[in-house]
Amino acid sequence: MSSHPITYTAVQAIAPGQLELTQKPISAPGTGQVRIRVQACGVCHSDAATVEGAFPIAWPRVPGHEAVGVIDAIGSNVEGWAPGQRVGVGFLGGSCGHCGECRRGDLVNCRNQEFTGIHHDGGYAQYMIARASGLVSIPDSLSSEEAAPLLCAGLTTFSALRNSQARAGDLVAIIGIGGLGHLAVQFARRMGFEVVAIGRGPDKGGLATKLGAHHYIDSSAVAIATALQELGGAHLVVATASGGTVVAEAVKGLRPRGRIIALGASSEPVQVATSDLLFGGRSIEGALTGDPATADTTLRFSSLAGVAAMIETIPLERAPEAYRRMMAGEARFRIVLTM
C-alpha cells in the first residue's frame, strides 16, 4: 500500500445554502466500515436535504450519495469486500442487520439506517467512510462517472418499475423527464412496457422519443388524465417530478387496478377524491430507492441493456456551482463531480 496523504479535499455544507471547499483529516474505517477513495459523485436533488438543512443535521456536513470509488482500507468485521475493489454508495448508508425490519429482510426500511451525506459525510470528497452493508458492486463495463447517477436516480426508478405489478406490454407512464425521469423512460422501454413520457412543454417530445418513449404528453397543453385515458388508461404511473398536484391529476388517468408510484419528494399534499380510488381499486404508493442487491442489478441491467444517464462532469472543486445549476434545473440531466 502506498503511503496516504494526511488530509483530503472535500466540499461541505456549513450553513443553509452555503458550501465551502475544505481540507479534512483522513480517518481509519471503524468496525463494519470501509474507506473509499472517491472517483466520482453524482449531484442529486436530495442533496438539498443537507445543503438547505431540510433534515435536522449537524453542520459541517459533506453531501453526496451517488459516490463511486475504490476501497483503500477495511475496518474489522468486514467480509466479502477487498481493498482495490470498486464500489458505490447510495442514499441508504447500510442496514444494521438486527432491527425488526432487517430481520424480515426489509433492508430499505432498516430502523438504524443512516442516510449518506446527511447523517454522515458523503461523496463530495476525495475520501469517505462507508458502512460495508450498504456497498454496491460496480461492474467493469461501467466507468465510475457512468455508474454514479445509477446509484440513486437509476436505482430508485429501476427498483420502482421492477417491483411494480406492471407486466410486459402494459401502458406505463413516466411523469417528469429530469434526472430520474430520463432514466425511468429508458428502463421502462427496455422492460417491455408501452411507455408514455409526460413533461411540460412541447420541446421535450423529441428527447422523450430518443430515450425510448412510444408516446409523449405535453402536460401544459392537455390534461394528463384525459391523454392517458385516450391511450386506454395507464396500468402504472411513475411520478418522478416532485409535487402533489401532478400525482393527483394522474389518478384519473389510471385504468382499474392501476397504481401510481410517487418518487419525487415534496411537502405538497396529494389531494385525491376517495371515489377516484374506490371505483376501480386504484392506489397511490411511495418508494424509497432500493436495497444493495437491487442496486447491483440496476448497474448490471443498465450495462446489458444500454441504459445510460446523460451526464456532464465537473471537477470536485466546482461542486458549489454544480449544486446551484442542479437546483436551478439547468443540469442536462445529471452532473457528476470527478475527483
Report the pLDDT value the prediction gives residue 266, as an integer from 0 to 100.
86
Indicate whether 100 belongs to any domain.
yes
Report the pLDDT value the prediction gives residue 1, as an integer from 0 to 100.
47
> What's the rounded Cα separation, in Å, for the pair 28 and 31?
10
Indicate whether 2 belongs to any domain.
no
Indicate whether 177 belongs to any domain.
yes
Q: What is the pLDDT along the chain (339 residues), one digit of tens a residue?
A: 456 789 999 999 999 999 999 999 999 999 999 999 999 999 999 999 999 998 888 899 999 999 999 999 999 999 999 999 999 999 999 999 999 999 999 999 999 999 999 999 999 999 999 999 999 999 999 999 999 999 999 999 999 999 999 999 999 999 999 999 999 999 999 999 999 999 999 999 999 999 999 999 999 999 999 999 999 999 999 999 888 899 999 999 999 999 999 998 888 999 999 999 999 999 999 999 999 999 999 999 999 999 999 999 999 999 999 999 999 999 999 999 999
Indicate whether 144 belongs to any domain.
yes
What's the CATH code of the domain at 13? 3.90.180.10
Write out the three cell numbers for 309.
Answer: 444517464
CB 205, CB 198: distance < 8 Å? no
- Report the number of distinct structural domains present in the chain: 2
Write out the three cell numbers for 77.
Answer: 468485521
Report the pLDDT value the prediction gives residue 267, as an integer from 0 to 100.
87
Same-domain check for residues 50 and 142: yes
Q: Residue 60: is the preceding peptide bond cis (ω within 30°)?
A: yes
| CA 330-336-339 angle, 5° bins | 140
Same-domain check for residues 182 and 81: no
Same-domain check for residues 43 and 137: yes
Strands 67-74, 33-43: pairing kind:
antiparallel
Same-domain check for residues 57 and 133: yes
Structural domain for 264, as ranges: 155-286
Indicate whether 1 belongs to any domain.
no
**Domain C-terminal end among 286, 309, 330:** 286
From the number of C-beta atoms within 10 Å of its C-beta (0-12, 13-18, 19+), residue 75 rates as middle
Report the pLDDT value the prediction gives residue 3, as an integer from 0 to 100.
66
> What's the rounded Cα separation, in Å, for the pair 82 and 34?
9
Alpha carbon of 191 to those of 142, 198, 213, 302: distances in Å? 20, 18, 12, 11
**Domain C-terminal end among 270, 286, 302:** 286
> What's the rounded Cα separation, in Å, for the pair 62 and 322?
14
